[in-house]
Structure 1
């Protein structure tokens, strides 16, 4: 019964968002209603809370903004939002850890998944634009076709990442599933 409820709520929310984006109508969010990207995966309470106007820790927002700053410096605002969205999609994916911090600090082999962690650029403060991009990514219904990878094709050296299905290109980054 619980899965049926989750699927019904997800379908209803998706339909309302679609209608709202097509008509310009804004729908109020139900503060206690769950949002489910993947109804079979346990809900990440931090993402759920932020989506409905509650709270993700300031530390996780700051960490994500610093990652966005380091990964998307010189990219457009849209590109910054997309980088933050990839991290959030990873949190929502069963293939990755279940919180922002663990996704950002995840190791793949002997290296970190995100180069700014490896080279310590993540320790630099985030710009106001990166902070704003994180806030938009957290609250936006656009999940970038559930992209969980991004890379710059001009400098990527890993052939595996190039094998992923591309869903969008923004500035110098390719976003893939």
Structure 2
């Protein structure tokens, strides 16, 4: 009886694991440069521009070398874009379009950072990071503007100032955030790294 119960639980756990999207999707990815590669060919294979590939890797020239590790931008699945757009909608409702792009950019930067989880889902649901997760407003649909802000943030990864945090000082205070370097201020949000 106990053996059958354990087998049933293992089968159920296996089905549960493979039924839902993996949290590692959208994870940071690297590419090892091969002989004959160019930034153009690598970027083309990933469906991104050479300018974006250079920006993500802080390159000022087009020179690459076999064996070099290039960081690739986060290329989210549609469900991840929807999740991110809903977070942007809830976090930056009433903010400018640029502010919405900034919020989406922070999440993408966190995915690329070794200080945070390696997926959009993981970053958004990482503890008590975002109040819309805690209060349920992340479940509300995103506006077209929030969806477009996510698309722009994805397309321009690497061009920002490496912001990893944002907050509205008129609504929240944090001694932790006040010790961080301010990268920009957009509307009511202060962005920091």
The corresponding residue for 1:32 is: 45
Separation in 2, partners of 1:170, 1:58: 27
The corresponding residue for 1:148 is: 164
Aligned residues: 147
Match of 2:185 among 169, 173, 176: 169
The corresponding residue for 1:93 is: 113
1:30 CA displacement? 3.2
The corresponding residue for 2:81 is: 61
The corresponding residue for 1:133 is: 149
1:143 CA displacement? 3.8
Q: Residues 184 and 191 of structure 2 are in contact (CA less than 8 Å); yes or no, is this contact kept in structure 1?
A: yes
Q: What are the Cα deviations for residues 26-56 of structure 1, in whole angstroms up to 9, with x where unaligned?
A: x9983226837369998567x1xx3xxxxx2
Q: Residues 63 and 101 of structure 1 are in contact (CA less than 8 Å); yes or no, is this contact kept in structure 2?
A: yes
1:154 CA displacement? 1.2
Structure 1 length-normalised TM: 0.71
Gaps of 5+ in 1: 14-26, 51-55
Separation in 1, partners of 2:163, 2:69: 17
Separation in 1, partners of 2:31, 2:137: 42
Separation in 2, partners of 1:4, 1:28: 13
Separation in 2, partners of 1:163, 1:30: 37
The corresponding residue for 1:158 is: 174
The corresponding residue for 1:17 is: none
Separation in 2, partners of 1:80, 1:3: 30
Gaps of 5+ in 2: 1-29, 59-67
Q: Residues 105 and 154 of structure 2 are in contact (CA less than 8 Å); yes or no, is this contact kept in structure 1?
A: yes
Structure 2 length-normalised TM: 0.66
1:141 CA displacement? 4.2
Distance change in 2, residues 1:4/1:135 (3 Å) = closer
Q: What are the Cα deviations for residues 80-118 of structure 1, in whole angstroms up to 9, with x where unaligned?
A: 0010000000000010011100000001xxxx2011101
Separation in 1, partners of 2:86, 2:44: 29
Separation in 2, partners of 1:43, 1:29: 11
1:157 CA displacement? 2.4
What is the RMSD of the two structures over their aligned residues, measured on CA atoms? 3.2
Q: Which runs of 4+ in 1 moved over 4 A?
A: 2-6, 38-45
Distance change in 2, residues 1:5/1:130 (3 Å) = same
Distance change in 2, residues 1:161/1:88 (3 Å) = same
